[in-house]
Structure 1
Amino acid sequence: MKVKKTMMNKSILLILLFGYQFASGQQTYVFTKGLFVNGVHHYGREALYIDTVAWQLYNQTLQKPQALTTAKQDSATNRITWTAIAADSAGVFKSRRFGAGGYLYLTYTAKRHQNVLLNIKGNSAVYFNGVLHAGDPYGAGWLYIPVTLKKGLNELYVRTYFQTSAAIIFPEKPVMISTADSTMPHVVLNKQNGVLQGAVVIINSGLQDLKNYQLKSIVSGKTLLTNTPVIPAMSSRKVIFNFDARDISSTGKYDCSITLQNKNKSVDEKQFILEAVDSSAKYSTTFRSQVDGSLQYYSVTPQLNGTKDNAALFLSVHGAGVEAIGQAKAYQSKDWGTLVAATNRRPRGFNWEDWGRLDALEVLNLAKEKFKPDPQRIYLTGHSMGGHGTWFLGAAYPGNWAAIAPCSGYPTLKDYGSADGKIPDSSKDIFEQMLLRAGNQSDVISLANNYKPFGVYILHGDSDKVVSVNYARQMKKLLAAFHPDFNYYEYSGGEHWFGDQSVDWKPLFDFFKWHTRLADTAVNQIDFTTSSPGISSTYRWASILQQQHPLQYSNLKLVRDRRHNKITGSTKNIHMLQFSLKDLGANTTVSISLDKSDTIKYTTVSANDSIILELRQNKWVAGAAPSLNEKGPHRYGTFKEAFNHNMVFVYGTAGDKQENEWSLNKARYDAETWYYRGNGAVDVIADKAYSLTKYKDRGIVLFGNSNTNSAWKELLNDCPILVEKNKITAGNKVWRGGDLGAYFVWPVKSSFITSVAVISGTGLKGMQAASANQYFAGASGFPDFMIYNIDMLQSGAHAVKMAGFFNNEWKLDSEEFKLQQ
């Protein structure tokens, strides 16, 4: 049914007011008084973190805070104390010191044991009765976390961000649909609208897993049923549902009704608004991500006068806090191409690195398939954080673009940290150096030679107070030293956003129009740098398959003489290469000379031939393709790689009560964070439910150790790192004690693409030390493995025992890790 104007305005108002309640009648308790302390933690874009409150909590030395009591004693004269703080009339706690490593302490006295929903805005995490839960750092307001009130005193340690509000909601029923964070497409008229997909959040604050439930959708009288995945007890999950919009034939707003049902019995029902638009309007479309099976979306600014094959394609990456549809709406339609805006999986997400990078690549590939552009006219642009995304994606994938245009952007997260802080530029500590090496892909300054093959247009307002114009000037100076084809424009008086022309700037698109990408056959010179073949391995007809030293920069300089069938060049930090020889034809003898090694002569056997080269004893020789069980572009590490292939979280149930509770709570915490950070959804299962057959080719995140998680034996029996109760063994090195923690990755031997990421500890303290999930911070560096003890929360890198990378054969190699002496 098409929505009347008055109904539409009411629905929008309800959405705008959606804060501490789902519907009228639900009781809500808003916190108004608390205690605050700052300067007690540091979480950033690296594996290390400092947290005095967490350290005391895990060591059971945390005293109940009171006004003016000590939270941290740095020295005899430097004492950090708790201070009383009150919320304002809107229930918001504010302090100039928020965001400076602070905690807000809140309490609630309950009359009885009861499951409720916790809604906190403006925090990065919270300990509720000692259990860690995800935060809502950007104040979105739609994160509702099921928790259990115990009778009597309940304590909250809220890790503050900026201004913070907190409430407890007493739900009318244990299972509910929340539409506050729905992912929905537009209905585009005259397209295939029979089965479209949306996603809503189902909240389960009951004690039983939800199994065999369905979502029923009704749009304009058309009904569709969708089976839901399992939603574990005391958790929430974003769930995909299908809807049929084929009977919508005119633009406007329409009701969509969804009902959660079990055995045909309604459990909850919600309505929200669909928007139908003409095919010439800007619109959003959804897709199921290959990263985790969740529903994501991208937005489109259609080509003027209809999409045409072999037109241009513009990929636009948005700034922090901007939705993809807002990005698309900033552009006027062009008569020579289509613009698509990816999402980074969230408006802030991952800074276009890690899973934001994968989202951009997914959208690019989907857009190529849908719009069939001219492969030589694909362009990349973005604003603010998207300006960084443009610099990063441009450098990581130089073969993709005819030209790029960063607008009001910063180049690296070493200089401009955004919400999660900066990546440390350097360190004197050998362990931190190893950790920072895992984030080398983020440093586009070290990858700058990759910009050489395409045009670069830099646009920045000279009065930008958010991202200083000095970043643009820095890149202008860098490019001027070597780049033959870039343009630079400072908009006089322009602030960070000076209207739609901040991105939709005619000279920028004119610059694009003048540039086309050369075909591979026309590219005979290569200068390509990568920090990891697992992120970026190939430029044109050359691929870096393996490095000598993982995650250090590798460089390849080549000259191809097609007239004489010669390839010459130099390499840095490369162990194995592959050259495509298809441009040279069959039965052609090719001469290859690298790094002053003996010339290799090879005769092609087909018109689509290639050659593998391997560095042996400092000489290049013709070799064979490495086994897929070895490291390669298909699976290279690091720890975070296991989160890339429709991952499943496997918690342990074979330990004692406290260990099992930690494992389940940690899996829930990571699932909550993945949902918030990445608009994601993940299966959370017990170890006894896991099997290699059932979860074939899916990444695994395993919580626990070899004694507490029964899936360990099946997944890690050949791993050189073994975590047991009170003991960690890595090769011939052994550490003992119950306070040791570990992160490491290991290939799943029954698959050629997936890995298992292990989050482990030798006892409860070690497990608790592994609780932080900074791996979800964009571009945070995590190596293949890292072993430490609980004192890392106090002393940082000094408590790291071992950190580094496996070699190309997934073996421990003393050259590739650092060990505490």
Structure 2
Amino acid sequence: KAPSVPLQDIVEDSTSGAADAQSAADTTEPDTAVVDATEDTKVRPADKPLATQNPPQSQDSSGWVAAVHYSGTPDQIGAAVANGSFAAPAAGTKAYEKAWVDAKPTNGQMGPFGNGSATVWLAGTVKVDDDVAAILRLDRIRAAYVNGIQVPGDVYGHGLARVAVPLKKGENLVVVRGRGGQKVRVGIETSSAELHLNALDWTFPELRVGSDASTWMGVPLLELTGSGQSAIRCRVVDSDHWKGSEVALAGLAPLATSHASFRLLPKSAWTEPTKEGDKGIPVTLRVESMQSDFAYQWTLHLKVLPADAKFRQTFLSPVDRSVQYYGVVPPTDFDSQKSYGLALSLHGASVEAKGQANSYSPKDWLYVVAPTNRRRFGFDWEEWGHLNGLAALNDAKTRFNTDPLRTYVTGHSMGGHGTWQFGVHHADLFAVVGPSAGWDSFYTYGGSKKPTGPFIRARAHSDTSSFLSNLSNRAVYVIHGTADDNVPWSEGKNLYQKAKQHTSDIQYHWQQGAGHWWNGDKSKGADCVDWPDLFTLMKERKLNPTELTFSFTTPGPWYSESYSYARVRSAKSPEANCKLVSSFDGATLVLNTTNVRTLEIDGAALKAKGLTKITLNGEERALSDEPLIVGPTTGKRPGVHGPYNQVMHTPWCWVWPKDKPVYGAYVSYLSSTWAIIGNGQGCAVSDVDVSDEIAANYNLIHVGRSAKDAGAPDFVSWDDAGVTMAGKTFAGSAIQLIWDSGDRLHAAMWAPKGQESLLYMVVPFSSRSGMPDFLIWGNSGLSATGNFAADWSFDPNLAIGF
């Protein structure tokens, strides 16, 4: 039976629930070996002449009116905006069943209107003399619609994000959708350039005296021609300080925003810190593309810090090739001959990673490394925040050559939740798990309903308590204020009691009368994170790299795959956790598995322990220095396993039909959303620009292409009549799915002609956006969904709606 579930109840808004529950307490916290880039080898454009650049010109808007909508009744404004029939009413009138009021900006801001549970709609106009590209600032706004074209806003109102839209000669209607109870800002500038770097939102390193190490810089790049661009060259210009370098970005969708990455190669070590009041070291960036007539150039400045200062370290993300950063507290009296530990510290909502690092006092025995959650709010340290934390950890361990057996995880508030998450899902990485003011899950803290059907498995990782047994061989230290009015003390107490059932090596500190963020005189940093007893425990604990007695449960190998000597490569069924139970009696090593289809055993590690065989599920197997792989190596496997979001766990590229600009606009929306929410790089090319090199280096997500052109499985097809899967047709429906393309995951998104707005119902970038292998939906909601079998075949028993 087809489920009658509104799609918005399945794909949750990235700003609802627990992330928003983080109060201003978080904002009171302190301010603010190298991985090579993989460059596309497509033929590069010839050097273009340098453009004469003029700054974007501010444009006035006028006639703003506002109306407020509360849930419980149909949103007729939203419906009219979606179908293109909306016209701005006059202030003091009633239209679309709502009263409209004057919303003239004051000091550039409008509102607030209604309360926090409301949706506020605002409409105004901007008049220009010619067709031109506009650069929008959309603070505290979910989305804007300019002449019907939808673009994302910055719901958190940081004031840094920019997106592009086309304006036509004459008057242009601008409609924005935001949350009630907040002031919003709409800024409009125009530019005649082809490309624009938004230096306000850059991701930058801090240089250090004595270092000549290469590093990275990331800056959002806006496409302004409306046609899209490919083979983009992101260059650092040779200068007194820098060697010339170049990194390729395969493509940008029409009017999209995407972070561009720049490689920084110093010519020599930095000799002295930047003096107060000085701009710092200049670095000139240059961009041009295959289609651009000109090259565009900007000069930014980087500060040099003392060698022992806390600093920002950048790295290239293995997820999307964007530049990310983490804050670092280096050890005191650094000695290159010493071995150091590493504490990974996860920040709370609204906190900058460098600010998190500033909360700690330096230690003489370890680094403190504070990654970003992709953004200050980001993904609650799940989904892409989880991936970025692990990437930062791997980069720091390699760069600083720390002792892998002395690695620990801690964090505060949202980062306390992340600490529990990282601890239970990656217990093999951390000797101590130390959450402060942490919460269990969206269900206990944010009040969200648990997902149902196939969505349960796609989001199974989020239910922290279900995986606490993985901490049986770990030390845990729980910190919480008893008067915390943000994350209730009960969250910490309950998790402590649950974890105590699995590990005896557990301690707590309840700070009597303390709120969410608190300090005292116990440490030189902020006591609620730099708690001395926590770091004493860390100093006393080390990992055993090859434990022989353990129990490990994972929601699936796509999220967490390994513990000690064992790695889960594939699950038998997507509908259950995978479990490993290992025991050793001094002579015989026994490993029993549940729901594990393919397993990899580290034979070399076990042989180093003097073992020559293992009894696996009752069958004795010999060990060698090579990995022992038991089970099929085809079908679902590492990197090609699902669920859907995994297609965006390694570099991906959206592909849209050049002759269908409506899909290019949706790809632009996705790319810009990813740039705003995830500080990310969104590769996008038209179907005529896809090269063998792009196909070899990216997971391709085909948007608006036919099933045949996309290479979809033969049991599914789509056309303007609807979607057909396994012989059942869903009329007027859209589809999203993944499949095994051979060496990589591929995906498709498609909607019938005239109903492309259905696609905007699905934007995957939130901490609660985990989705099954496929979705089919229409205007009335979800029609069908499910996961494919372990061999990538369709199984109706793993789906609903059939």
Shift of 1:334: 0.7
Counterpart amino acid of residue 648 in structure 2:
F
Aligned to 1:27: 58
In structure 1, the residue matched to 2:261 is 240
**In structure 2, what is the equivalent of residue 136 of structure 1?**
154
Q: In the alignment, which residue of structure 2 is the partner of 1:728? A: 723
Is the counterpart of residue 775 in structure 1 residue 764 in structure 2? yes
1:205 is aligned to 2:224: yes
SS at match of 2:496: helix
The within-5 A match list for 1:241-640 is 241-245=262-266, 246=268, 248-252=270-274, 253=278, 254-258=280-284, 260=286, 268-308=296-336, 309-417=338-446, 423-426=448-451, 432-499=452-519, 500-520=526-546, 523-563=547-587, 565-567=588-590, 569=592, 571-582=593-604, 585=607, 590=613, 592=615, 594=617, 599-602=618-621, 604=622, 606-608=624-626, 610=628, 612=630, 625-628=631-634, 630-640=635-645
2-structure distance, mates of 1:347, 1:679:
10
1:670-709 mapped onto 2 (5 Å cutoff): 670-706=670-706
Report the Cα offset of residue 268 of structure 1.
5.0
Q: 1:636 to 1:609 in 2, by over 3 A?
A: closer
1:257 CA drift (Å): 4.6
Contact 2:61 2:127 in 1 (8 A): no
**2 CA distance for matches of 1:437 and 1:52?**
35
> 1:290: how far off?
1.4
Structure 1 position 92, deviation (Å)? 3.4
**Greater length-normalized contact order (CA 8 Å, ≥ 6 residues apart):** 2
Contact 1:40 1:53 in 2 (8 A): no
Please give the TM-score of this superposition, normalised by the length of structure 1. Answer: 0.82
After superposing the two structures, state which structure 1 stretch, 662-671 or 690-699, moved more: 690-699
CA distance in 1 between partners of 2:780 and 2:641 (Å): 30
Within 1, Cα distance between the matches of 2:83 and 2:110?
31
Q: 8 Å contact 1:217–1:243 — kept in the other structure?
A: no
Aligned equivalents of 2:614, 2:295: Cα separation in 1:
71
Q: Could you tell me whether the CA contact under 8 Å between 1:440 and 1:552 is conserved in 2?
A: no
Q: Which amino acid aligns with 2:641?
A: Y
Q: Which moved more, 1:199-208 or 1:445-454?
A: 199-208
Counterpart code for 2:309: A
Q: Name which of structure 1's ranges 82-91 and 362-371 shifts more when overlaid on structure 2.
A: 82-91
Runs of at least 5 residues in structure 2 that lack an aligned partner in the other structure: 1-31, 33-52, 520-525
Matched-pair contact (CA < 8 Å) for 1:740–1:763? no
1:764 corresponds to 2:754: yes
Q: C-alpha offsets along residues 349-370 of structure 1, whole Å, 9 cap, x if unaligned?
A: 2221112111111111112212
Q: 1:328 to 1:762 in 2, by over 3 A?
A: same
Q: Measured at CA, do residues 247 and 440 of structure 1 come closer, stay the same or move farther in structure 2, by a change above 3 Å?
A: closer
Alpha-carbon distance, 1:84 to partner: 4.4
Matches of 2:798 and 2:718 in 1, distance apart?
A: 20
Q: How does 1:22-101 map to 2 (within 5 A)?
A: 26-29=57-60, 33-39=64-70, 53-59=77-83, 62=86, 64-65=88-89, 81-98=99-116, 100-101=118-119
CA 1:97 to 1:804, structure 2 compared with 1: closer, same or farther past 3 Å?
Answer: same
Distance change (3 Å), C-alpha of 1:676 and 1:559: same
Aligned residues: 732
Q: 1:279 is aligned with what amino acid?
A: A
Distance (whole Å) between structure 2 residues aligned to residue 332 and residue 188 of structure 1 = 19
Bigger shift: residues 663-672 or 444-453: 444-453
2:63 and 2:299 mapped to 1: Cα distance? 32
Specify whether residues 341 and 583 from structure 1 end up closer, same or farther in structure 2 by C-alpha distance, changes over 3 A only: closer
Mean Cα displacement is larger for which, 636-645 or 307-316?
307-316
Query: Scaled by the length of structure 2, what TM-score is found?
Result: 0.84
Deviations 1:732-789 (A, max 9, x none): 21223xx31111111222x1xx212211113221x21112343101132210001111
Q: How many angstroms does 1:627 deviate by?
A: 2.5
1:741–1:770 Cα contact (<8 Å) kept: yes
Residue 696 of structure 2 aligns to a residue whose secondary structure is: coil
Partner amino acid, structure 2, of 1:281: A
Deviations 1:17-39 (A, max 9, x none): xxxxx998833325673212222
Cα distance in 2, alignment partners of residues 279 and 218 from structure 1: 25
Supply the distance in 2 between the matched residues of 1:336 and 1:39 (Cα, whole angstroms). 55
SS of equivalent to 1:723: strand
2:342 touches 2:408 (CA, 8 Å); kept in 1?
A: yes
SS of corresponding position for 1:519 = coil
Partner of 1:147: 165
**1:117 pairs with 2:106:** no
- CA deviation after TM superposition for structure 1 residue 401, in Å: 0.8
CA distance change for structure 1 residues 53 and 637 in 2, over 3 Å: closer, same or farther? Answer: farther
CA distance in 2, matches of 1:436, 1:667: 28
Residues 104 and 64 (structure 1 numbering): CA distance in 2 closer, same or farther, change over 3 Å? closer
Q: Which residue type is aligned with residue 688 of structure 2?
A: K
Identity %: 24
Give the SS at the match of 1:399.
Answer: coil
CA RMSD, Structure 1 to Structure 2 (Å): 3.1
The whole-number CA distance in structure 2 between the counterparts of 1:138 and 1:151 is 32
Instruction: For residues 367-417 of structure 1, give each alpha carbon's deviation from its aligned partner in whole angstroms, at most 9, with x where no partner exists.
Output: 221222222211001111111111111111111110011111212122334
